Amino acid sequence: MEMKTETLEIGDVVYHFSQGEFFKTKDQAEKLLSLAQGMFKLELVDKDGTKQPNIDVDVGAILKNITNAECKEVQDFILSTVKVVKNGEGILFTNKEQRSLHFNGHRSDYYQVLVAGVKFHFLDFLPSGGAFMTSTIGQAINKAVTQM
């Protein structure tokens, strides 16, 4: 079976995500779901006669969990599956020094890469993960950003 890959292009940098080993990825997905408890409240609200998802975001819980050891493990897992290509040269993030050196020069890319990595690695673990969760996560992120 062919491994899933995806790219994210930000400016002149291309981030290549490669699928992680199943059980390692599953373990990280479970950590992420555990961390997400209390961060988001999802309700179905009546909008023009149809039920629509509405997400309340607890920005304080998000900020608190960003420094959590399990969140750091999820971040490390995502970054360990990324190859960065800039000006035709590729870099694998095999250690923190390489990651630090790269993101020191591309600070605004960091959270974009992590969000893309979360979607890439973990959405397909959820029932009907792709379409519903992508729009739900997008809604949550937009709401969180406007509250900050």
Query: Quick check: helix, strand or coil at residue 88?
Result: coil
pLDDT for 8: 95
Contact between residue 80 and residue 93 where contact means Cβ atoms under 8 Å apart: yes
pLDDT the model gives residue 13? 93
Residue 139 has pLDDT above 90, yes or no: no
Lowest mean pLDDT among 15-19, 52-56, 125-129: 125-129
Cα separation, 129 vs 36, in Å, equals: 15
Q: How confident is the model at residue 42 (pLDDT cuts 50, 70, 90)?
A: confident
Specify whether the CB–CB gap between 55 and 140 falls below 8 A. yes
Mean pLDDT of all residues in 5-28: 94
**Could you read off the pLDDT of 108-134 as tens digits, one per residue?**
999 999 989 998 998 888 766 555 555
Q: How far apart are CA 82 and CA 93, in angstroms?
A: 6
pLDDT in tens, 57-112: 777 777 788 888 888 999 999 999 999 998 777 877 778 888 899 999 999 999 99
Report pTM. Answer: 0.75
Confidence tier at 141 by pLDDT (50, 70, 90): low
- Distance separating alpha carbons of residues 145 and 67, to the nearest angstrom: 18
Per-residue confidence (pLDDT) for residue 43, from 0 to 100: 78
Which tokens go with 39? 């961060």
Question: Can you tell me the mean pLDDT for 22-39?
Answer: 87
Q: How many residues does the chain have?
A: 148
- For residue 79, give the amino acid letter: L
